Structure 1
C-alpha cells in the first residue's frame, strides 16, 4: 500500500514534499507525474526531503509523491552475470529496447522473469531447512552453478513440497515450506543491510591485475575492497 504526499519545493535533484502520514528514512518514493525514483534523506515534521535519482526538470509544485513504505533494495538471483546496470539496478540492455534514450521514470525489472533455468533439487519433502541452506542448484553458463538458498531473513522450517528437476522461471515456485512460504529463484535485499555470514575467509591471495604499477605500488587482496577517491568526471571508472 502506498501513501501519497505532495511536492512543495524543488531544488535540482532534491525535492521537498508535504506528508500527513509516518515516513521512514531512506524510504523509496516515486516523485511527480513521471514517477521519478528517489529516497527520503531528511524528515522534518510534516515535510521530507527526497533525493531523486533522475532529472527533475519540468516537475511542478503540487505534483504527487508516492511513498512505497519500502527501502532501496536490489534483486538477487541468476541472470545478473554479464548484465550492465545503471545506478538504480535497471539493465541497460532492456532499457535500450524501449528506445534510444532512457525515459524518465522507466521501471524495468533487474532480472528477466521470462528466461528459463534448469533447477536441480538438493532437498526432498520433509527435510528441515535453515536460512542460507541450499535447496537446489541452477547452472549459468558452463562454469557457474548457483546455489538456490533459503533467504537469510527467512525463519527455519521444513519442506512441504519441492519442484523436481525441470526448467523454471523467476515466477515459478521452487519450494514450499510447511509454514506456507514459497521460495523462488530470486529475492530482494535492502542495499544498506549487510548480508549475514557464518565466517569470513582470510585475505591470503593477491588480486593480480596484470598492470605492474598497480600490482607493485597499490596491491590488493582477492576478495578485498579498495577506494578510489576523486571528484565527478575525473576518470575513476
Structure 2
C-alpha cells in the first residue's frame, strides 16, 4: 500500500496532503467545466458541454423530486445534489485516468514520512490519486451529509424527536450507522478498483516482454469507470434520501 505526503506529521492535525490537493484539483476541474458550459450559452440550441450540463441538471432535479417530500425541500437540496454528483463523478475518475507516484529509499525522511512508513509501502509515495479512495475523505463527506440532514430536521424539533422512535427505537442505531455505511460504500468501491488496477500494472510481463495483463487492464478500467459513475449517483441519491427523510415541511415524512 503506498504512502502519502503528510502535513503536520506526528500531531492530531496530521493530514494526507495528496487528498487535500486532489480535492482542490477536482473543484478546479468542476469550475472550468461549468465556466466553459456557460461561456456561450444558447437557449434555443444547446450543444456540446452546455447540453451535457443541462442534462445533468435535469437528471439531478428529477432525482431530488423523487426523494424529497415537498418542492421547498427540492429547492433546498438541488444545488447540493448537483454539486455532489458532479464532484464525485470527477473525483472517482481521477485515479482511473492517472496516478502519479515516486519511489524513495526506505531510509529517507521526506514529506513528513518516517522510514517505517516508506518501508511499509516499499518506498512508493503517491502524489496523485482519487480523493474518494481515501477513507477519511469518504467518511468526511458522509458526516457532512449527516450533519446537514439533522440540522434540517431540527427546524421541526417535535417531528425530529418523533422520527427516532418510528417505526421502532432501533432507528437510533440506524441514524448512528448511516454515515459509516454511506461513506464506506463509496470508499470501498473506489479504493478496491484502484488497488486491483495497481496490482495489474505492476504484474511482471510473461517471458519478460509479453504484456499478458493488458486485456485485463482494459476490461477492469471499463468496469471501474462504470462503478465510479454509479457510486457518484448512489452517494448523491442517498444524500437526498437522508435529507428528505428529515425534511418535515407540512408534516410530510417518508
TM-score by length of 1: 0.23
RCO higher in structure (CA 8 A, sep ≥6): 2
TM-score, normalised to structure 2's length? 0.22
Which structure dedicates a bigger proportion of its chain to helix? 2
